[in-house]
Amino acid sequence: MVVVDRMAGSTAESAREYLEHAARIAKAIDTDAIDRYARTLYEAWRDDRAVFVFGNGGSASTASHHVCDYVKTASVEGRRRLRAFSLVDNVGLLTAIGNDLSFDDTFVLPLETMAKPGDVAIAISCSGNSPNVVRACRWAKDHGLTIVALSGFEGGAMAALADLHINVPNDNYGIIEDMHLSIGHMVTQRLQALVRDEATCS
């Protein structure tokens, strides 16, 4: 019997190889989609809608980092802040859902509790196939949320559910996660500029 490691991905054998590979992949990412992502957050801010970000493992840490930047770093003095929330930061809630219900429901239950039609769900998954992420995207789609998906590999099941899909076309988990974090930084700076421009014009 052949055992397939579902976590398998390419690896680099030196720092130089890693950086050269990352540079090639960075050029393949759709920058117009990243600008549309920033615009989606700006419109959520403008309309006072909520943004929910989630992922597993390294992507959970990325989700927390994105929210930190969207709330604090993108803020403009004198303007209200984006109402962005990480669904991965309440360990008690996550483990209660996972233990008492199902780990596949870890992100659906908070969305059911807090999300409203018109809000934004940001799903981060290297494979795009994490069951709890995909289930949350399905719920979001069925309940009128805008879905932004950040993926790697070929996008997985998550890609077909997204209103906006940003793919890092690679199978190296480290590089995918690096790019997802960088996308958050790009979007943060663009969001701040958009909010500042509105403040200047008003």
The proportion of the chain whose per-residue pLDDT surpasses 90, expressed as a percent, equals 93
Is a pLDDT exceeding 60 seen at residue 2?
Answer: no
Structure tokens at 71: 């709330």
H or E element at residue 120: strand 120-125
The residue range of the domain holding 119 is 29-201
Q: Residue 24: inside a domain, yes or no?
A: no
Number of domains making up the chain: 1
Q: Residue 56: inside a domain, yes or no?
A: yes
- The 3-state DSSP class for residue 33 equals helix
Is a pLDDT exceeding 70 seen at residue 6?
Answer: no
Express each pLDDT in 95-142 by its tens digit. 999 999 999 999 999 999 999 999 999 999 999 999 999 999 999 999
Averaged confidence pLDDT in the chain = 94
CATH of the domain at 175: 3.40.50.10490
Amino acid 32: pLDDT: 98
Is a pLDDT exceeding 50 seen at residue 153?
Answer: yes
Instruction: State the Rg of the chain over Cα.
Output: 17
Q: Residue 21: inside a domain, yes or no?
A: no
Q: Residue 102: inside a domain, yes or no?
A: yes
CA distance 56 to 65: 13
Q: Residue 36: inside a domain, yes or no?
A: yes
Q: How many CB atoms lie within 10 A of CB 95?
A: 12
Is a pLDDT exceeding 50 seen at residue 10?
Answer: yes
Express each pLDDT in 41-67 by its tens digit. 999 999 999 999 999 999 999 999 999
Q: Residue 23: inside a domain, yes or no?
A: no
pLDDT band at residue 69 under the 50/70/90 scheme: very high
Q: Residue 179: inside a domain, yes or no?
A: yes
Express each pLDDT in 37-48 by its tens digit. 999 999 999 999
Structure tokens at 145: 């949320």
Q: Residue 44: inside a domain, yes or no?
A: yes
CA atoms within 13 Å, Cβ hemisphere of 187? 29
